[in-house]
Structure 1
């Protein structure tokens, strides 16, 4: 299956994905593994930036199609419904799952605004070229709505008070129930 973790920047996608990888024997394709080439070599949000992300993503997705079908793949993203780019990327992930004959399961992570603001300011994020602005997705009284469409199964999980290990355990248990039904 393709396990697609979507959440606001700073919620803990990669940290939880790493813990989940150990439990599932999965591979992670973190959004920054794809984006960092574009961040390093182009101007953010330029045509060259988007072209670079598309090219790197195409190579990465081609490799995913070559993995054995019993190896789960975890994708991480921060895509909102009101973003043309986010929807383009989301559609590519749905198409990836279809082309591999895998389920596209979506995990939407959330946490309180206060905790999200604390996490996103972490200095380790800067080293990885990750955004550190708490207002990036969470502006004003409402949050941008995260994409969840096209999922064969959907889990919403508030990780405000959860460790990454506990969240990964919860997701792994949920994934087992999905596998049992298939």
Structure 2
């Protein structure tokens, strides 16, 4: 089984993912573990960034395939504006392929929170230490993109 937690930056995917993984005795792979290499070594949004992020993801997914298929995996992803649509689609297809190759289901869960809570979480200084975005206008921009 693969549980995929998705949502806007700052909604608590990492926090919830860690708790779920602990309770299920599952492996936990958050999106920043995959993206931090590309963030550190390339400029975000460039072709080099997406190439390195894809290679890192593929290596991680190959390692997941070596785990017993009965071992659950909890993963996080991010809904984001300004990114490469092709990268997001390719990433989702890779997750579906991973689940198929493991002969296990994938359960996708979208996390949300209020604008105020999202803004509070985005302002947390610990986010920078983990190379997470802290743009305080992001929650309001994101909420305006979501159909009401």
Query: TM-score scaled by structure 2?
Result: 0.90
> Which SS does the other structure have where 1:133 is aligned?
coil
Instruction: Identify unmatched segments of 5+ residues in structure 1.
Output: 146-182
Q: State how far apart, in whole Å, the 2-side matches of 1:105 and 1:140 are.
A: 24
Structure 2 unaligned blocks of 5 or more: none
Tell me the C-alpha RMSD between the 2 structures: 2.0
- Higher helix fraction: Structure 1 or Structure 2? 2
Structure possessing the higher relative contact order (Cα contacts under 8 Å, 6 or more residues apart) = 2
Q: Does 1:7 align with 2:14?
A: no
Aligned residue-pair number: 145
Tell me the residue number matched to 2:70.
70
Residue 116 of structure 1 and its aligned partner are, at CA, apart by 0.4
- The answer to whether the 8 A contact 1:137-1:144 is kept is no
1:85 to 84, 87, 90: 87
Tell me which protein shows more strand as a share of its residues: 1
C-alpha distance 80-88 of structure 1, shift in aligned 2 (>3 A): farther
1:51-66 equivalences under 5 Å are: 51-66=51-66
Q: Which residue is 1:122 aligned to?
A: 124
Q: Would the aligned equivalents of 1:5 and 1:76 in 2 still touch at CA under 8 Å?
A: yes
Inter-CA distance 25–45: structure 2 relative to 1 (3 Å threshold)? same
TM-score by length of 1: 0.74
1:16-51 CA-to-partner distances (Å, cap 9, x unmatched) read 111111110001110000000001111111111111
Report if aligned partners of 1:79, 1:87 keep a CA contact under 8 Å in 2: no
The separation in 2 between residues aligned to 1:144 and 1:138, in whole angstroms, is 10
**Measured at CA, do residues 140 and 19 of structure 1 come closer, stay the same or move farther in structure 2, by a change above 3 Å?**
closer
Task: Give distance in 1, aligned partners of 2:53 and 2:109.
Answer: 23
Question: Does 1:32 find its partner at 2:60?
Answer: no
